C-alpha cells in the first residue's frame, strides 16, 4: 500500500484522474450490473462463430489456425477465457464489461493532462462515456469491435502522455504506452490499417523523429510488416466493388458481358445514388455470394469456378469506376458516415429481455454453429447431450420480467435522443442535402477545428485528423452501420470539451 501511495504521489495527474473518474466508474458499473443480472451470457451474434474458430480448433482437434479476416488478437483472447469453467459466454460478458470500465481511466487522464479547466469537464466526459449505451451493449457481445473501441482511448492517452513529456529519455519510455495499444488495435481489426496515415501525420506534427530512436522505429517497421498479413483479400475486393457498384462504367468494353447482366441494376442505383444507403445491402449480399444468384448466370458461373477470377473482376471494375468518378466514391462514403453518426442509429431494443432469447434461438439451431463450438461457448461438458433450447433459454434469459431491463431501455432512449450529431427532418435522409449537423454536431465541428490549434494540436488535434480520417476510410469500404462509427465517440466527447475549455482559458486570461 505504501508503494502505491508513493507511486501516486510521484504521478499526481494519474492520481487526479483516478479520483475524479470514481463517479463514472460507479455509474457505469451500476448500468452494467443491471444488464449482467438479467442477461448473464455475452451475446452470440452472426459473426461470433468466426471469432471462436481458433478456440474450437485448439480445444477439439489441437489445430491452430486463425482465418485472415479475424486475425489476430481477439480469437487468441477467446482461448484462455474458454478454458475457464462455466463457458466462454458467461466469463466474456464480465471480462469485457470490466475492460470497458477500466477504459474510463485513460479518458480521465487525457482530460486531466490536456485541459486547463479539467476539474469542470472530467466528470461529465467520463460519466457520458461510461454510460454510453452503444459501448455497454458491445461489451456484451462476442465481437472484436468492443476492444477496438477501448483501444482508441488507450491510444490517445498514450499519445498524450508521450507528447506532453519534455524530458526526451522519459518521453521514449512513455512512447510505448501509445505504441502497445496502437499495435493491439492493428492486430485486432483489419480496418486498423487506416490509422497508419494518422500515425505518420502525428509524428510529423510533433517532430517525433527528434525523440524516437532505433527501438521505436524498429517496432513501427515490424508492426507495419505484420499488419500486411491481416485482412481477407476476397472480402476487401467485394467490399470495394460494393462501394463502386453504382459507378460501374457501362459504356466501356471492359468485362462487357458481365456488365450487361447487371446493367439495369447499376442504372437504378446510379439514378438513386443519394438513396444508395438504403439498397446497398442487396448489392453487398449479391457480390458476397454470386453463386447463389442464378438470375445472373455469368456471375454465378464465375463464382463457382474461379474465386481468383471473381476477385480480379471486382478489382478491375472498381478501378475503372473509381478513376472515372472519385468524387462520387467519396460522396458515398460521406453519406454512409453521416448515416451512421447518430446515437439513435443504435437500436435500444437490444436491451429488452426477449431480444437475446429470440436471436440465439436461431443461432442455436443453425448448422453454421457446430455443436463443439456451442459446447465451449455455453460450458456444456462433452459427455452430456446438447440440451433443448427450452433449457438454454433459462441460461440466456433467466429473468424475463425484470424491471431493470425496462429501465435500461428507457435510459438508453433518453441518452440517445440527446446524442444525435445529424439532424434528419424525416428520419433517415434520402439525400445528403436533407441532412445537416445538429446543434451538437456543429459543436463537434467547432471542437474539431479548434483542436487543430495550440494548445490542443499535438494531443487531441492529431487524433482528430487520424480518427476522422480513419472513420471516412472505413466507410469507403464498409456499409452504413453505427458500429463502424463507434470508435469515434471517445474523441467526440473530448472535442465537445474543447470550446468550453477555450472559453475558460480566455476568462482566466482576462481576470488574471
- pLDDT band for 65, please (50, 70, 90 cuts): confident
Q: Considering only 151-155, 258-262, 387-391, 429-433, which range has the smallest mean pLDDT?
A: 429-433
pLDDT band at residue 306 under the 50/70/90 scheme: confident
User: The C-alpha cell of 370 is what?
Assistant: 457446430
Res. 394 pLDDT band, cuts 50 70 90: very high
Task: Give residue 504's pLDDT.
Answer: 94
According to the model, what pLDDT value does residue 499 have? 97
Average pLDDT over every residue of 205-229: 91
pLDDT digits (tens, 9 = 90+) for 311-367: 999 999 999 999 999 999 999 999 899 889 999 989 999 999 999 988 998 888 788
**How confident is the model at residue 83, as a pLDDT?**
94
278 or 204, which is more confident = 204
Q: What is the C-alpha to C-alpha distance for residues 275 and 267, in angstroms, rounded to an integer? A: 13
Task: Report the percent of the chain where pLDDT is more than 70.
Answer: 97
- The mean pLDDT of 392-411, rounded to a whole number, is 94
Give how far the C-alpha of residue 505 lies from the chain's centroid of Cα atoms, to the nearest Å: 33
Q: Is the peptide bond before 455 cis (omega within 30 degrees of 0)?
A: yes
Q: Give residues with Cβ within 8 angstroms of 484, minimum separation 6.
A: 191, 340, 471, 474, 475, 478
- For 443-466, the pLDDT digits (tens) are 999 999 999 998 999 999 999 999
477-505 per-position pLDDT tens digit? 888 889 999 999 999 999 999 999 999 99
DSSP labels, 6-49: HHHHH-HHHHHHHHHTHHHHHHHHHHHHHHHHH--SPB--TTHH
Average pLDDT over residues 198-214: 90
Question: Cα separation of 461 and 412, whole Å?
Answer: 30
Element (H, E) at 437: strand 436-437
Task: State how far the Cα of 493 lies from the Cα of 489, in Å rounded to an integer.
Answer: 6
Q: How confident is the model over 211-222, as a mean pLDDT?
A: 93
pLDDT of residue 115: 96
Please provide the size of the chain in residues: 512
DSSP letter for 436, please. E
Residues 458-475: what's their mean pLDDT? 95
Q: What crossing angle do the helices spanning 196-205 and 214-227 adopt, rounded to 10°?
A: 160
Q: What pTM was computed for the model? A: 0.93
SS3 322: helix
User: What pLDDT score does 277 carry?
Assistant: 81
Q: Residue 367: which residues within 8 A CB-CB, separation 6 or more?
A: none
Q: Which pLDDT score, from 0 to 100, does residue 82 have?
A: 95
Q: What is the mean pLDDT of residues 45-67?
A: 87
pLDDT, position 153: 97
Q: Mean pLDDT in the chain?
A: 91
> Residue 383: what pLDDT?
86
403-436, pLDDT tens digit by residue? 999 999 999 999 998 989 998 776 554 456 667 8
pLDDT of residue 71: 76
Amino acid at each position: 500500500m505504501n508503494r502505491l501511495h508513493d507511486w501516486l504521489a510521484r504521478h499526481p495527474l494519474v492520481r487526479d484522474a483516478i479520483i475524479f473518474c470514481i463517479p463514472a466508474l460507479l455509474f457505469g458499473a451500476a448500468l452494467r450490473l443491471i444488464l449482467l443480472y438479467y442477461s448473464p451470457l455475452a451475446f452470440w451474434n452472426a459473426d461470433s462463430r468466426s471469432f471462436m474458430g481458433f478456440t474450437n480448433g485448439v480445444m477439439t482437434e489441437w489445430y491452430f489456425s486463425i482465418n485472415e479476416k479475424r486475425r489476430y488478437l481477439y480469437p487468441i483472447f477467446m482461448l484462455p477465457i474458454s478454458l475457464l469453467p462455466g463457458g466462454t459466454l458467461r466469463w466474456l460478458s464480465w471480462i469485457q464489461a470490466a475492460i470497458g470500465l477500466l477504459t474510463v481511466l485513460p479518458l480521465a487522464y487525457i482530460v486531466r493532462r490536456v485541459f486547463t479547466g479539467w476539474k469542470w469537464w472530467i466528470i461529465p466526459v467520463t460519466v457520458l462515456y461510461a454510460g454510453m449505451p452503444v459501448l455497454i451493449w458491445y461489451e456484451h457481445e462476442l465481437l472484436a469491435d468492443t476492444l477496438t473501441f477501448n483501444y482508441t482511448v488507450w491510444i490517445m492517452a498514450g499519445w498524450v502522455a508521450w507528447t506532453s513529456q519534455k524530458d526526451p529519455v522519459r518521453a521514449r519510455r512513455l512512447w510505448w504506452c501509445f505504441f502497445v495499444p496502437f499495435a493491439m488495435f492493428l492486430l485486432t481489426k483489419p480496418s486498423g490499417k487506416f490509422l497508419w496515415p494518422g500515425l505518420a501525420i502525428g509524428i510529423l506534427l510533433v517532430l517525433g523523429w527528434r525523440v524516437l530512436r532505433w527501438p521505436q522505429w524498429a517496432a513501427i517497421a515490424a508492426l507495419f510488416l505484420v499488419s500486411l498479413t491481416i485482412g481477407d483479400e476476397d472480402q476487401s475486393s467485394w467490399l470495394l466493388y460494393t462501394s463502386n457498384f453504382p459507378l460501374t462504367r457501362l459504356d466501356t468494353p471492359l468485362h462487357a458481358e458481365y456488365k450487361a447482366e447487371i446493367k439495369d441494376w447499376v442504372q437504378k442505383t446510379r439514378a438513386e445514388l443519394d438513396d444508395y444507403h438504403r439498397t446497398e445491402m442487396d448489392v453487398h449480399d449479391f457480390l458476397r455470394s454470386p453463386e447463389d444468384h442464378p438470375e445472373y448466370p455469368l456471375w454465378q458461373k464465375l463464382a463457382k469456378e474461379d474465386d481468383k477470377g471473381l476477385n480480379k473482376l471486382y478489382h478491375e471494375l472498381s478501378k475503372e469506376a473509381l478513376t472515372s468518378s472519385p468524387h462520387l466514391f467519396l460522396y458515398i462514403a460521406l453519406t454512409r458516415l453521416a448515416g451512421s453518426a447518430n446515437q439513435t442509429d443504435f437500436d435500444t431494443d437490444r436491451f429488452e429481455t426477449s431480444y437475446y432469447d429470440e436471436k440465439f434461438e436461431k443461432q442455436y439451431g443453425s448448422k453454421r454453429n457446430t455443436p463443439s463450438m456451442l459446447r465451449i461457448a455455453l460450458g456444456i461438458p462433452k459427455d452430456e447431450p446438447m440440451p433443448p433450447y427450452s433449457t438454454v433459454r433459462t441460461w440466456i434469459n433467466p429473468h424475463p420480467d425484470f424491471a431493470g431491463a425496462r429501465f435500461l431501455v428507457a435510459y438508453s432512449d433518453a441518452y440517445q435522443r440527446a446524442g444525435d450529431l445529424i439532424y434528419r427532418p424525416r428520419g433517415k435522409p434520402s439525400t445528403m442535402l436533407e441532412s445537416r449537423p445538429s446543434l451538437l454536431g456543429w459543436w463537434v465541428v467547432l471542437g474539431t477545428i479548434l483542436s487543430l490549434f495550440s494548445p490542443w494540436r499535438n494531443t487531441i488535434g492529431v487524433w482528430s485528423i487520424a480518427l476522422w480520417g480513419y472513420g471516412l476510410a472505413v466507410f469507403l469500404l464498409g456499409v452504413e452501420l453505427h458500429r463502424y462509427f463507434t470508435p469515434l465517440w471517445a474523441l467526440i466527447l473530448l472535442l465537445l470539451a474543447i470550446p468550453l475549455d477555450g472559453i475558460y482559458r480566455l476568462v482566466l486570461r482576462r481576470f488574471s
